[in-house]
Amino acid sequence: MRIGVLTAGGDCPGLNAVIRSVVHRAVAGHGDEVIGFEDGFKGLLEARYRKLDLDAVSGILARGGTILGSSRLERARLRQACEETEDLSRELGLDALIPIGGEGTLTASSMLAAAGLPVVGVPKTIDNDISATDRTFGFDTAVGVATEAIDRLKTTAESHQRVMVVEVMGRHAGWIALESGMAGGAHGICLPERPFSVDALCAMVEERFARGKKFAVVCVAEGAHPAEGQMDYRKGEIDQFGHERFQGIGNRLAAELEDRLGKEAKPVILGHVQRGGTPTAYDRVLATRFGWHAVEAVHRGDFGMMTALRGTDIVMAPLADAVTELKTVPASRMDEAESVF
């Protein structure tokens, strides 16, 4: 068989591990040929690809990023692609396509599958918000990076009797904030799923100082927002240079806490360090398993599906289901963390 593989969307530790696993299983296990499209769907549409043999994926298991490059999806071109799908397939002699990507990529994959392309998807997001799978690779690495940062910030906060506000990734789902907050022992956790109360955060800090614990750490997802009437906050303010990105919730919340509490409150915005670099062992194993099962699905003709973790098993889930609903943090998970939410 001739199998195409591509990576699309944001960087995510484990992408190379999937590519390597696909190549190992397909080439060494089944005698297939694998080609890798460059820069995501763009490379597919422009027929920019290279052959991937065992040598091509040697040494990439532990490496962050993607050797294939990536790009964000342009929906218009994809629709066009769907129309030309049969030609594309025939021209390239593709027996199957394995796109590795997040919600946008899986939606696109679902469209391609509907248009008749033999597609098996592999889900990817550091945000862990795809509902069809228990976990996605990249998430564990992001949580690990954020947790190490919180560990470091705690000693500084304690030495200086400060409040530290750590902003982590998570625009629509707060999984990274929840788990790194729990793992780092943050005293407050703010998630997109539940508008937070500045009053409650202040009360928590005051109570800690009263108990002699003269510091506090608040872990806030970039997509978190205050409850009605709690704090003046509008995302997307424009700064004096015409850029809107600088005033995130972390900076804003630290300023507010400092004003209200009369104590030093310092923001730390972790940003892109969470999505780069070598994946954790957990993510490498999950990514490798996803790659292996994607190839097996191809050989079974299990198209229109994507790999998913359920308990300890890798199963196949319909691509269409995968993208219907965002997996957000349920209240029961917040209860388990001894933090203010």
* C-beta separation of 287 from 279 below 8 A: yes
**2 among annotated binding-site residues:** no
Amino acid sitting at position 111:
M
Please choose, out of 92-100, 105-113, 155-163, 190-198, the segment that lies near a second copy by the rule CB under 8 A: 155-163
In the region spanning residues 174 to 193, those forming contacts with a second copy, defined by CB under 8 A, are 179-180, 182-185
Mask for 238-277, x = binds a second copy (CB under 8 A): -xxx-x-xxx---xx--x--x-------xxxx-xxx-xxx
Closer to a second copy at the Cβ: 11 or 222? 11
Supply the minimum distance, in Å, between the C-beta of residue 117 and a second copy. 24
Token digits for 146? 């954020």
| Helices vs strands, H then E, count in the chain | 13, 11
Residue 11 has φ and ψ, to the nearest 5°, of -60, 150
How many of the chain's residues bind a second copy (CB under 8 A)? 90
Nearer to a second copy, 79 or 243 (CB): 243
Determine which residue in the list 33, 45, 69, 321 makes contact with a second copy, applying CB under 8 A. 69
Whole-Å CA distances, 47 to 38, 43, 256, 269, 322: 9, 6, 52, 39, 27
Residue 266 annotated in ligand binding? yes
Residue with tokens 């049969």: 86
The active-site residue out of 127, 129, 140, 283 is 127
Q: Is 200 in the site for a second copy (CB under 8 A)?
A: no
Check whether 103 is labelled as a binding-site residue. Answer: yes
Q: Could you confirm whether 127 is annotated as catalytic?
A: yes
We find the least distance from the C-beta atom of residue 87 to a second copy, in angstroms, to be 28
DSSP, collapsed to helix, strand or coil, labels residue 123 as strand
Does the protein bind a second copy through residue 144 (CB under 8 A)?
A: yes
Phi-psi region of 217 (alpha: psi -120 to 50; beta: other; left: phi over 0): beta
Give min distance, CB of 253 to a second copy, in A: 11
Nearer to a second copy, 55 or 90 (CB): 55
Residue 16: CA atoms inside 13 Å, Cβ hemisphere, count? 20
Q: What is the C-alpha separation between 288 and 63, in angstroms, rounded?
A: 13
Torsion of CA 220, 222, 228, 232, to 10 degrees: 100
Q: Is 223 annotated to bind ligand? A: no
127 carries a ligand binding annotation = yes
Residue type, 151: D
List the one residue from 280, 297, 305, 341 that touches a second copy (CB under 8 A).
280
10 DSSP assignment: S
Q: Which C-beta is closer to a second copy: that of 79 or that of 152?
A: 152
Check residue 31 for interaction with a second copy (CB under 8 A): no
Question: Is residue 147 within the footprint of a second copy (CB under 8 A)?
Answer: yes
Distances (CA, A) of 264 to 110, 216, 255: 50, 11, 9
Bridge partners (DSSP) listed for residue 50: 36
Strands 216-221 and 265-269: unpaired
Give dist(CA 222, CA 267) in Å, integer: 12
Which of 73, 122, 130, 145 is the binder for a second copy (CB under 8 A)? 145
Which residues are annotated binding-site positions for substrate? 125-127, 162, 169-171, 222, 266, 272-275
| Residues of each annotated binding site for ATP | 10, 72-73, 102-105
Active-site annotation, residues: 127
Query: Which residues belong to the annotated binding site for Mg(2+)?
Result: 103
